[in-house]
Amino acid sequence: MDDTSKTAAGGCMCGAVRYEAVGDPLSTIYCHCTSCRKHTGAPVVALVGFKQAQVTFTPADRKIYQSSPGVGRGFCDQCGTPLTWEGDGGEHGPLIEILINTLDDPEAFIPQCHIHHAEKMSWFETDDTLPRYRVWHDDGDEPYL
């Protein structure tokens, strides 16, 4: 079960939005999807996923942009920092995936696989041996590289 002694804190660039995630994460991933790349302006995004109930925002809440049906992208409306992917986690219920580099200690979570690798930028590659999934590892997808 969740280890409530573990807390991961972070926030946006200006400090208006802070968050805390309590307990163990469900996943730590690199996402190469077009939507994550557009939201962040980065060639790839590192995300750590928690059940929605594990994450609290304070003092200000994040704003949510609905990027597709059922999927929200959290950000700070003061400084524009992208913060989260939020959506349905299937058996886990609502999920909040936090952009790892908004954590106070981004070294605390290390991505374990690449998802939506089929959408990867042709000029971008990482020097690792992690499994690469065309789409998403929870959908019965097998690594193809």
Pick between residue 31 and residue 99 the one whose CB is nearest to Zn ion. 31
Pick between residue 21 and residue 85 the one whose CB is nearest to Zn ion. 85
Size of the site for Zn ion (CB under 5 A): 9
> What are the CB-based long-range contacts (under 8 Å, 24+) for 82-86?
82/39, 82/40, 83/11, 83/12, 83/17, 83/19, 85/31, 85/36, 85/39, 85/47, 86/52
Rg, Å, the chain Cα set: 15
23 touches 3 (CB < 8 A): yes
| 79 touches Zn ion (CB under 5 A) | yes
Residue of the chain from 8, 21, 36, 98 that contacts Zn ion (CB under 5 A):
36
| 95 touches Zn ion (CB under 5 A) | no
| 29 touches Zn ion (CB under 5 A) | no
Task: List residues binding Zn ion (CB under 5 A).
Answer: 12, 14, 16, 31, 33, 36, 76, 78-79
